[in-house]
Amino acid sequence: MNEYSIQTRNLNLWYGDFQALKNISTDILKGKITSLIGPSGCGKTTLLRCFNRVNERYGNVRTTGEIKILDKNIYDSDISLIELRKAVGMVFQRPNPLPISVYENIVFGLRIHSGERNWQKSELDEAVESALKGVSLWNDLKDKLQAKATSLLLEQQQKLCIARLLPLKPQVILMDEPCSALDADATKRVEDLMRELAGEYTILIVTHNMMQARRVSEECLFMMLGELVEHAPTETIFSSPKDSRTADYIEGRYG
């Protein structure tokens, strides 16, 4: 029986009078990499940001329908946004490390989310080492932990942004075009990292790169004009889509 990390039912979202999402109902498999593809402006990033309710930061946003994460509707009145965003971490299009040390970037979330707890240095050291090993950066940065994170290479910065999520033990990692600022070699290494993290984490990635979607994801959602057109295993989407609009997009006829 399939297990799902995220389930949406009749999800709609408006920015003012503009409806950006229209009756989205889908199930995201637990522990898999799922890519969101479609033309620019089709609602991919808006849908991604629904899953940790980041859209609400922008004001004039109205949402109806249901999103269940870990069997709990994230729009229920008793939902803590702080706890939700611990469980559903996000990596943005451009790396956004804090302008502090590598070490402090990784322990920042622990300190923010732990209330009055006084962390032992040995605990923080262990969390930093574990997180950097989790993203294959430990050997590169173990002697540079006090270096400013913004001085790192772009690839290292993006991996660091993933690493700083890990001590919070998220269930889901959202990635909004995480390789768009990287060169081909760095993109390959970040994609390899995604594959390593899959299984332990559910990963959703927005990408405009069709080959990337095909390389890294096991499931694929195709969106158009705010609607979910098709959701299927990635190879099915690319080799035998059911909807002609999906085929047109995959074959480069628009978008």
User: pLDDT tens-digit profile of 71-108?
Assistant: 899 999 999 988 899 999 999 988 999 999 999 999 99
Give the DSSP per-residue string, 127-183: HHHHHHHHTT-HHHHTT-TTSBGGGS-HHHHHHHHHHTTGGG--SEEEEESTTTTS-
pLDDT of res. 117: 73
Going by pLDDT thresholds of 50, 70 and 90, the confidence category of residue 22 is: very high
Task: State pLDDT tens for residues 30-80.
Answer: 999 999 999 999 999 999 999 999 998 888 999 999 999 978 999 999 999
Model confidence at 255: pLDDT above 60 = no
End-to-end CA distance of the chain: 36
Radius of gyration of the chain (CA): 19
Length of the chain: 255
Give the H/E segment covering residue 185: helix 184-197
pLDDT of res. 116: 63
pLDDT of res. 62: 94
Task: State pLDDT tens for residues 140-174.
Answer: 999 999 999 999 999 999 999 999 999 999 999 99
Model confidence at 231: pLDDT above 80 = yes
Model confidence at 254: pLDDT above 80 = no
Smallest CA-to-CA distance from 249 within 226, 229, 219 is with 229
Using left for φ > 0, alpha for ψ between -120 and 50, and beta otherwise, residue 196 falls in alpha
Output phi, psi for 248, to 5 deg. Answer: -60, -40
Residue given tokens 């991919």 in the structure block: 44
One-letter amino acid identity for 4?
Y
Assign 228 to helix, strand or coil.
strand
Going by pLDDT thresholds of 50, 70 and 90, the confidence category of residue 4 is: very high
In the chain, what percentage of residues exceed pLDDT 70? Answer: 98
pLDDT of res. 253: 77
pLDDT of res. 56: 86
**Contact predicate 223/230, CB 8 Å:** no
Going by pLDDT thresholds of 50, 70 and 90, the confidence category of residue 119 is: confident
Domains of the chain by start residue, with CATH: 4-99+170-250 (3.40.50.300)
